[in-house]
Amino acid sequence: MFYDSVGFTGTAKQPVSGQTRRFTADDRWLHELSYKDLFSIRLGVLKFRGFVLNPTRIPYTPGQPLTDADFYPDFEQKGVDMRIGIDIANLSVEVNALATNDTDCIPAMKHARRSGLQIALICFPGFRPAPELLAHTDFRREILWPA
């Protein structure tokens, strides 16, 4: 199963100019992936949370007015963690392989392990797993990517 969210599509007012900014997302790759053998796509939603001041502009320098370019859009993925947790709790496989660094998965990992299932944390080159995840993982699987 592959968990993600489609990119944000919609409009928002720029923080300085007030002009409308349009966001578009291309989700064709997710549709193509869904047609692969033994692949299931589980989608959450990407929410726009506003614009955030770029840290390079902090502290503010007097005489240099802020522009829209000094802000970046802030998005939050919703519902993906819950889908992962529900699937881990309901799947009856011996080993659940997770490629994540999201500590929100820990309750589902704990539930699976209490139910007698094993959790394998998938680690790609350069991946530094959160220590909390390692505490609730039965073993790590190093994956070379790209192969």
Cα 84 from chain centre: 11
In this prediction, residue 147 carries a pLDDT of 60
Residue type, 47: K
> Average pLDDT, stretch 70-81?
93
> Is the predicted pLDDT of residue 85 greater than 90, yes or no?
no
DSSP letter assigned to residue 145: S
Length of the chain (residues): 147
In this prediction, residue 140 carries a pLDDT of 92
> Is the predicted pLDDT of residue 74 greater than 90, yes or no?
yes
- The answer to whether the beta carbons of residues 109 and 128 sit under 8 Å apart is no
| Cα separation, 80 vs 43, whole angstroms | 7
Q: Give 55: exposed, middle or buried? Use CB within 10 Å, 0-12, 13-18, 19+.
A: exposed
| Cα separation, 92 vs 52, whole angstroms | 42
> Does a cis peptide bond (omega within 30 degrees of 0) precede residue 129?
no
| Cα separation, 131 vs 19, whole angstroms | 43
